[in-house]
Amino acid sequence: MLSTLSRSQMLQRLASRYGMASSGGFARRFIAGETVEDAVAAARSLETRGRRITLDYLGESVATVEEATAAAREYGRLIGVLVAAGVERNLSLKLTQLGLDIDQATCIDNLRRILEPAQRHDVFVRIDMERSAYTAQTLEVFETLWRLDYRNIGIVLQSCLHRTDGDVHRMNELGARVRLVKGAYHEPADVAHQKKADVDAAYLRQMQRLLSHGNYPAFATHDERIHQEVRRAAAARNLRDDAYEFQLLYGIRRDLQETLLAGGNRVRVYVPFGHQWFPYFMRRLDERPANILFVLSALVGEWRSPHGP
């Protein structure tokens, strides 16, 4: 339902008007802002509180070469800003933002335009995973760049997909850094587990393999039970706390971030920003009912305010 609404042009226009309004816009809980400067300010704030960060310039499914080239150019500018600002040099991006829907060659060319300066400035770039229709292509692009000796890249795998056990093995064999997520997209039964219990079981199984054979895996989930299982599995292998990390989303479960940090764990926060924030924002609402309640209460406050709509 919400994923369909995320494509509504009318809702996007309304959201762009009120969602990012000053510091009180209802989307600011989950989005750092619309500009690079907003993102850097959020990154600095998180780092002062012990968090690591990865910045994501939001955008996906571009339809023209010009849009894809502009996105690559913006990531190039972001690298320069990160270097100048002195914040952690870690980025996340989606391949459909770089032209994967146009053709794979265009996407690879744009990704190389980002990876070249990233490699020179010691910036790590994580390729996000999108809907299952893109999984095979995304891994092909990743492996192409890996064969070209780009080692400042990582990949995301979704435990909800039936194929992911094999993909975990494939990435472990390469020595690639994997971020493991449950998956934020509604997928058909022939490609993905439909029951939460099955997704959780797959996540735990893949987590064990990443801890045993992976290269600095990242476990991106807000599921406290899984956090406990990760720590238990790491302790059983005598792994140090710096052998893996937990990743959480900006603005979600900040209490859990504090708990993990207090326990000596590495915590990285995924910091999204940019004008194309609406589809990402709607997925966050779709994932967790508590997020919808938060936004509704914020909207009620804005409507009651003398400065509201």
Q: For residue 296, is it within any domain?
A: no
pLDDT tens digits for range 209-231:
999 999 999 999 999 999 999 99
Please list, in sequence order, all residues whose beta carbon lies within 8 angstroms of the beta carbon of residue 25, skipping any fewer than 6 positions away.
Answer: 18, 19
Q: For residue 284, is it within any domain?
A: no
Q: For residue 298, is it within any domain?
A: no
In order of 24, 203, 300, the CA distances from 304 in angstroms are 13, 43, 6
3-state secondary structure of 205: helix
Q: For residue 50, is it within any domain?
A: yes
Active site residue 128: yes
Which domain CATH number covers 49? Answer: 3.20.20.220
Active site residue 179: yes
CA-based radius of gyration for the chain:
19
pLDDT tens digits for range 15-59:
555 566 555 677 888 899 989 999 999 999 999 999 999 999 998
Determine the structural domain holding residue 59 and report its residue range.
32-276
Which of 45-59, 176-190, 232-246, 287-301 bottoms out in mean pLDDT, i.e. has the lowest?
Answer: 287-301
Q: For residue 79, is it within any domain?
A: yes
Catalytic residue among 126, 179, 231, 284: 179
Q: For residue 8, is it within any domain?
A: no
Number of domains in the chain: 1
Helix H, strand E, coil C: the string for 72-93 is HHHHHHHHHHHHHHCCCCEEEE
Catalytic residue among 56, 128, 167, 200: 128
